[in-house]
């Protein structure tokens, strides 16, 4: 193959002209770029935002309109692909850009997820007034850049892209955390976040390079094959084999990087500080979007290492699942216990975020255990159920966590405080915000009839199923159940302040009416939490379809 | 019928939704709207009686392929004969050899010998099915079911039997009376009534749900309103009491959730087509056939029992109850004691027992001991109280102890699963009746305490006295209701207690002595309380001037409850007839379920 051929192939892959048809809404004529349309629209929006600023047009066209239109356009493009989810979706995955990215149902689902969330966040920032008009272009550029990085994360099909995407998502978020300029806490939080992020990124990169060296490839689909070749005998899967020790070390290092994004214990230290220092809007964005994207990435990464059945590494996959289960149990427990001592609502929500990362990680752990049973073959239905649980949880989490941060942001605008004590008796002045908070928090606890319950039930069901293969998962399930009870305390502390305590005489007024824009926004965000807890079937069936698609595409069972 | 059940469950919730659009200040309008929705719900539950088949001990209604409830069907007993479309036509008899003969002694052809449980409709034996596939003509299904989450086999499935119906009626009546008693709530009336109605939806849903998942949802739905009803409208230590209540119940719920998952996954191994189910009827059938092994049953039973025992509450799990009761406002105390505690007992009868028959027997002794300790401990604790409401609260612990003893007196025979099934039936019936009776009398007692608390704002037993002189009508009604709680013959409390005590004789004579002594202790604390509050020459506490006679609304509530207490005491068959068949069926199924698992255990024990 000469150079010209390579260039031609690259062209075909990118533009699709004359290439073999690429399944997707945009047909064969557009190639990878066509499938990449939502991301391209985000890029275009970023350029527009900067140009508008350059020519001073932001005095006439507020930057948030540009941002909102851009996000909506990208969302519409992704919706067009969403309709492929339940109908003419690509039944197998399609590789984009010569295998760097993958376009499958999971990609489509998470694109939609991230863009929907982006619209909500932009709308929230418009209503809450952070950032102001002056800073708008900067803020939205960072926001869109970070989202773009996350969209690459969910589509990553290559270890290099994994790293680049995580960095692309992280770097703008460092700046967003420090966006409240001139506030000591904010700068400190951003600094802490950067140092931590840079450290873990370095470790992860080292791990990736070890993997690359060990396997001779960076592409996800090939990883499993190479692993099977490298560790073909039972003897090779032992610590006395340097190659195996290197593999363990490399995986550990990569997990450090992912664990940082997920704020898993013990890589969670940045999270409370960053959330407390950052504006509530940024906190909401980081807690939902980066979690969702990182979990999609984690699932892809884990599946990449477990697609060859009957290999000697099967036991290894089981232990990987158990290890994830242990980390999940510790994370959930730590997050919930630490949240109890908080007096600042944002800090409390930060610990709650940590705890929820723990719950969601339980689903991944269950997935790994179910995929690598100690004996017999894997029950793919069970594996799909575990992924379904994770996706459902993540989707409900979008609304319930955003709702909680929304209330924090709106209340902050009224009373200039984020301390729980200053929330006392708010129900008499801003009932709509309090009821929205109630819905979101009880959903976070996992109480029916709110969506969080079904997410949690699916995760617990997967854990139970996995527990039949290895008892340790039952232990994780018990820890998860106990955590549900722990978590009740601190969520109730906020609700108790809002509903049961009396509003002090000299407290600032926080009148938010249900028919104000803020009130409507709070309703719009919290109603889905209730709906997803009652009308469960459609979303559950959709995410099951995504999970099965992912399994059929990735696994060669 | 499907619509009626739907209406019963969701009418209160609809009321809550309507009230959300009311103006905050229209307090009287809000209260009356609340009352009218609870009256409507009560009327709907009474309509339920119209379609109730006293002959049918199974889950009702029976639904045809087209989803219509079957109005007329006959439930066959052992030995019934179907001939020419009639069950046991005149003159048709079965002789000793099992041959069916007519009045002339000639053998008749075409007669069908029915088994207990067969359902005859339009002259044919109906093939009864409870699975959820599409029904063909001539097939039947118990209760109503429609798909909710298809690929998880979750159904909206509701129905009732003789055990559920009395509790549904109790719930709607007590809710109505408690709503009437809610005029004493002055703060945030709208929020109060909305939460109250949501609570009622949760309670009715629990009693009518036949899908484990649906049951769980309603069970939890009722938690949230209760937390706020105690927490916002309660007494001085309301925050503590509310969170304690929430926490205890949530622990129970989590245990129940794990048990639910156990049955969900293990049902796949036992069900015909390998599907996982939440259907309580089908799960019970699997358990009856021995589909769940001993370990599964034992673990699940412990989880379920703790979950329900917290709600009942029995001895070691009861500590939330006095706090919650003392701090809750009067109407909420009525609901708590009158209905919520019954959900624990109902859960044990509807879920824990039928799904774990072997474990039920294995745990019978433990249950009986727990129940007996609750009886004695609750009574002694009640005697030591100086707070009137706390006394009534502890009396609930004691009275609900009878329920646990009554349901658990399952004694094995030499060769049979149940030594004396009639005794056990009596215990179960007594326990069920005790639940209803306690629902009436404890709601009444809490209301009576509330009436006087509203006037003088204290509940110290040592600072009352002489109320008979100041409020004669109130004192008379109160004395009647307290006597009902005491278990005076001729009033509702007596029937349940005496049935449980008699049944416990067959289990163990010592147990009967302990249980009977509980009756004496009960008499002790109630009479002593009556003496300190109502008798005596003069009132010893503050706010003497506030002791005005009851108004019409209060008289109506107290009078209704007292009337129920007397009617149920004089004519207990009103309730007993309803649940007799269902209780008998429960005993049969449990015995069968035990035998299905027990021999297998001996074989495995012998195996090397």
- Region of B110 on the Ramachandran plot (φ > 0 left; ψ -120 to 50 alpha; else beta): left
Residue A93, judged by CB atoms within 10 A of its CB (0-12, 13-18, 19+), counts as buried
Q: Tell me whether residues B264 and A489 touch, CB distance under 8 A.
A: no
Query: How would DSSP label each residue in A30-64?
Result: SHHHHHTHHHHHHHHHHHHHHHHHHTTGGGTS-HH
Confirm or reject contact between A538 and chain B (CB < 8 A). Answer: no
Query: How would DSSP label each residue in A306-355?
Result: S-STT-TTHHHHHHHHHHHHHHHHHHHHHHHHHHHT--BHHHHHHHHHHH
Of B95, B96, B115, which is closest to residue B105 (Cα–Cα)? B95
Whether pLDDT at B234 is above 90: no
Confirm or reject contact between A535 and chain B (CB < 8 A). Answer: no
Residue B22, judged by CB atoms within 10 A of its CB (0-12, 13-18, 19+), counts as middle
Q: Regarding beta strands B112-113 and B119-121, do their DSSP bridges make them parallel or antiparallel, or are they unpaired?
A: unpaired
pLDDT value of position A84: 57
Write down the ipTM of this complex. 0.90
- From residue A229, give the alpha-carbon distance in Å to each of A225, A226, A313, B73, B415: 6, 5, 11, 70, 63
Confirm or reject contact between A127 and chain B (CB < 8 A). Answer: no
Query: In tens digits, what is the pLDDT along chain A, a chain of 557 residues?
Result: 788 888 877 777 777 654 444 444 444 445 677 778 888 899 999 998 888 888 877 777 788 888 889 999 999 888 876 675 544 455 567 778 778 888 888 888 898 999 999 999 999 999 888 777 778 888 899 999 999 999 999 999 888 999 999 999 999 999 999 888 778 888 888 998 999 999 999 999 999 999 989 888 888 888 877 887 877 777 777 778 888 888 889 999 999 999 998 989 888 888 898 988 888 899 999 999 999 999 999 998 888 877 665 666 777 888 889 999 999 999 999 999 999 888 899 999 999 999 999 999 999 999 999 888 887 777 888 899 999 999 999 999 999 999 999 999 999 888 888 888 888 888 888 889 999 999 999 999 988 889 999 999 999 999 999 998 889 999 999 999 999 988 988 998 899 888 888 888 887 888 888 888 899 999 999 999 999 989 988 899 889 988 888 887 665 54
Distance between start and end Cα atoms, chain A: 33
Residues of A in contact with B13 (CB under 8 A): none
Residues of B in contact with A457 (CB under 8 A): 257
Give B309 to chain A, closest Cα distance, Å: 18
pLDDT value of position B37: 93
| B interface test, pick of A537, A541, A543, A547 with most B CB neighbours within 10 Å | A537
CA–CA dist A436, A552 (Å, integer): 39
Residues of B in contact with A449 (CB under 8 A): 217, 220-221
pLDDT value of position A426: 87
CA–CA dist B470, B442 (Å, integer): 24
In this structure, are residues A458 and A533 in contact, taking their beta carbons and an 8 Å threshold? Answer: no
Q: Is the pTM of this model over 0.95?
A: no
The residues near B322 (Cβ < 8 Å, ≥ 6 apart) are: B390, B393, B394
- From residue A360, give the alpha-carbon distance in Å to each of A115, A480, A500: 21, 11, 32
SS3 A411: helix
SS3 B132: coil
With CA atoms as reference, the chain A residue closest to B256 would be A481
Per the DSSP assignment, residues forming a β-bridge with A103 are A94
SS3 B530: helix
Q: How far is CA A444 from the centre of its chain?
A: 16
| B interface test, pick of A362, A444, A481 with most B CB neighbours within 10 Å | A481
Q: For chain A, give the number of residues.
A: 557
Domain boundaries along the sequence of chain A: 36-554
Of A431, A430, A439, A449, which is closest to residue A404 (Cα–Cα)? A439
Confirm or reject contact between A465 and chain B (CB < 8 A). Answer: yes
Confirm or reject contact between A520 and chain B (CB < 8 A). Answer: no
Confirm or reject contact between A276 and chain B (CB < 8 A). Answer: no
Where would I find the H helices in A156-266?
Answer: 159-177, 184-215, 220-230, 242-262
Structure tokens given for A254 = 């990569």
SS3 B538: coil
CA–CA dist A96, B516 (Å, integer): 80
CA–CA dist B594, B421 (Å, integer): 14
Of B444, B435, B432, B284, which is closest to residue B360 (Cα–Cα)? B284
Residues of B in contact with A460 (CB under 8 A): 257-258, 261
Give B273 to chain A, closest Cα distance, Å: 15
């Amino acid at each position: 193959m000469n150079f010209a051929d390579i260039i031609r192939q690259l062209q075909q892959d990118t533009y699709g002209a004359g290439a073999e048809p690429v399944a997707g809404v945009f047909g064969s004529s557009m190639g990878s770029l066509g499938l990449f349309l939502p991301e391209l629209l985000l890029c275009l929006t970023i350029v527009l935002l900067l140009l508008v600023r350059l020519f001073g047009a932001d005095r006439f066209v507020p930057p948030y309109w540009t941002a909102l239109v851009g996000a909506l356009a990208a969302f519409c493009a992704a919706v067009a692909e969403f309709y492929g989810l339940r109908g003419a979706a690509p039944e197998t995955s399609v590789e984009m850009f010569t295998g760097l990215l993958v376009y499958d149902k999971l990609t489509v689902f998470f694109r939609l997820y991230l863009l929907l969330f982006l619209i909500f966040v932009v709308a929230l920032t418009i209503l809450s007034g952070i950032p102001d008009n002056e800073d708008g272009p900067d803020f939205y550029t960072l926001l869109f850049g970070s989202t773009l990085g996350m969209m690459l994360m969910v589509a990553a099909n290559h270890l290099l892209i994994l790293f680049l995407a995580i960095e692309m998502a992280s770097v703008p978020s460092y700046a967003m955390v420090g966006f409240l300029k001139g506030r000591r806490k904010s700068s400190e939080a951003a600094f802490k976040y950067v140092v931590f992020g840079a450290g873990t990124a370095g470790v992860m990169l080292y791990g990736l390079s070890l993997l690359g060296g060990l396997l001779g490839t960076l592409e996800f689909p090939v990883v499993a094959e190479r692993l099977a070749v490298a560790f073909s005998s039972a003897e090779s899967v032992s610590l006395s084999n340097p190659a195996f020790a290197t593999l363990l070390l490399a995986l550990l290092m990569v997990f450090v990087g992912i664990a940082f994004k997920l704020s898993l214990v013990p890589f969670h230290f940045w999270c409370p500080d960053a959330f407390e220092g950052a504006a509530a809007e940024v906190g909401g964005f980081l807690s939902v979007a980066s979690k969702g994207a990182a979990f999609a990435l984690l699932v892809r990464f884990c599946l990449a290492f477990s697609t060859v059945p009957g290999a000697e590494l099967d036991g290894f996959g089981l232990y990987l699942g158990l290890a994830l289960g242990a980390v999940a149990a510790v994370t959930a427990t730590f997050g919930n216990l630490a949240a109890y001592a908080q007096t600042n609502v944002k800090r409390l929500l930060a610990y709650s975020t940590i705890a929820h990362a723990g719950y969601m990680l339980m689903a991944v752990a269950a997935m790994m255990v179910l995929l690598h049973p100690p004996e017999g073959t894997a029950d793919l239905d069970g594996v799909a159920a575990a992924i379904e649980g994770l996706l459902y949880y993540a989707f409900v989490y979008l609304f319930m966590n955003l709702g909680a941060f929304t209330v924090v942001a709106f209340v902050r605008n009224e009373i200039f405080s984020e301390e729980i004590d200053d929330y006392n008796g708010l129900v008499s002045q801003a009932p709509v915000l309090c009821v929205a908070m109630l819905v979101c928090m009880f959903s976070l606890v996992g109480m029916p009839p709110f969506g969080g319950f079904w997410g949690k039930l699916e995760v617990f069901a997967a854990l139970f199923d996995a527990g039949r293969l290895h008892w340790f998962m039952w232990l994780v399930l018990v820890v998860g159940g106990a955590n549900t009870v722990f978590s009740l305390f601190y969520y109730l502390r906020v609700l108790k302040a809002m509903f049961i305590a009396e509003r002090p005489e000299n407290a600032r007024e926080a009148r938010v009416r249900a028919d104000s824009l803020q009130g409507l926004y709070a309703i719009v965000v919290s109603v889905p939490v209730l709906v997803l807890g009652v009308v469960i079937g459609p979303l559950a069936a959709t995410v099951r379809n995504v999970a099965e698609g992912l399994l059929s595409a990735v696994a060669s069972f | 019928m499907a619509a009626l059940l739907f209406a019963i469950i969701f009418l209160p919730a609809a009321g809550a939704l309507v009230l959300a659009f009311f103006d905050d200040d229209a307090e009287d309008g809000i209260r009356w709207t609340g009352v009218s929705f609870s009256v409507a719900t009560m009327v709907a539950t009474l309509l339920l009686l119209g379609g109730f088949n006293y002959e049918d001990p199974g889950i009702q209604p029976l639904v045809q392929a087209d989803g219509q409830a079957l109005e007329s069907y006959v439930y066959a007993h052992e030995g019934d004969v179907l001939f020419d479309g009639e069950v046991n036509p005149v003159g048709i008899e079965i002789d000793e050899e099992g041959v069916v003969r007519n009045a002339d002694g000639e053998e008749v052809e075409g007669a069908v010998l029915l088994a207990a449980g067969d359902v005859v409709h339009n002259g044919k034996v109906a093939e009864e099915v409870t699975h959820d596939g599409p029904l063909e003509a001539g097939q039947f299904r118990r209760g109503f079911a429609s798909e909710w989450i298809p690929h998880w086999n979750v159904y909206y499935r509701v129905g009732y039997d003789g055990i559920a119906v009395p509790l549904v009626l109790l719930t709607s009546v007590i809710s109505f009376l408690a709503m009437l008693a809610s005029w004493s709530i002055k703060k945030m009336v709208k929020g109060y009534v909305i939460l109250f109605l949501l609570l009622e939806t949760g309670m009715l849903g629990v009693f009518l749900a036949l899908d484990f998942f649906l049951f769980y949802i309603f069970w939890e739905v009722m938690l949230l309103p209760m937390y706020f009803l105690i927490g916002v409208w309660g007494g001085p230590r309301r925050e503590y009491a509310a969170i304690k209540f929430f926490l205890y119940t949530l622990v129970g719920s989590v245990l129940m959730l794990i048990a639910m998952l156990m049955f969900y996954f293990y049902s796949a191994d036992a069900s015909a087509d390998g599907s996982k189910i939440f259907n309580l009827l089908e799960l019970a059938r699997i358990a009856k056939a021995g589909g769940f092994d001993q370990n599964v049953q034992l673990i699940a039973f412990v989880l379920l029992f703790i979950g329900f025992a917290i709600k009942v509450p029995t001895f070691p799990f009861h500590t939330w109850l006095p706090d919650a009761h003392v701090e809750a406002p009067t109407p909420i105390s009525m609901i708590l004691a009158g209905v919520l505690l019954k959900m624990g007992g109902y859960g044990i009868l509807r879920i824990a027992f039928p799904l774990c028959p072997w474990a039920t027997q294995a745990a019978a002794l433990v249950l009986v001991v727990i129940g007996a300790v609750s009886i004695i401990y609750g009574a002694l604790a009640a005697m030591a109280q100086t707070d009137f409401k706390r006394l009534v609260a502890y009396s609930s612990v004691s009275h609900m102890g009878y329920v646990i003893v009554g349901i658990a007196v399952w004694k094995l025979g030499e060769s049979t699963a149940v030594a004396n099934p009639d005794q056990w039936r009596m215990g179960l019936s007594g326990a069920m009746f005790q639940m209803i009776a306690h629902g009436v009398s404890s709601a009444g007692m809490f209301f009576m305490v509330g009436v006087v608390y509203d006037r003088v704002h204290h509940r110290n037993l040592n600072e009352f006295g002489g109320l008979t002189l100041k409020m004669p009508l109130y004192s008379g009604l109160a004395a009647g209701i307290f006597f009902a709680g005491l278990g005076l013959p001729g009033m509702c409390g007596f029937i349940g207690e005496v049935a449980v005590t008699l049944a416990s004789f067959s289990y163990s004579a010592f147990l009967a002595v302990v249980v009977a002594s509980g009756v004496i202790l009960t008499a002790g604390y109630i009479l002593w309380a009556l003496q300190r509050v109502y008798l005596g020459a003069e009132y010893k506490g503050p706010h003497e001037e506030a002791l005005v006679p009851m108004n019409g609304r209060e008289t109506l509530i107290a009078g209704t409850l007292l009337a129920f207490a007397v009617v149920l005491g004089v004519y207990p068959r009103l309730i007993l007839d309803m649940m007799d068949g269902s209780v008998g069926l429960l005993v049969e199924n449990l015995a069968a379920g035990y035998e299905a698992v027990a021999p297998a255990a001996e074989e495995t024990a012998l195996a090397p």
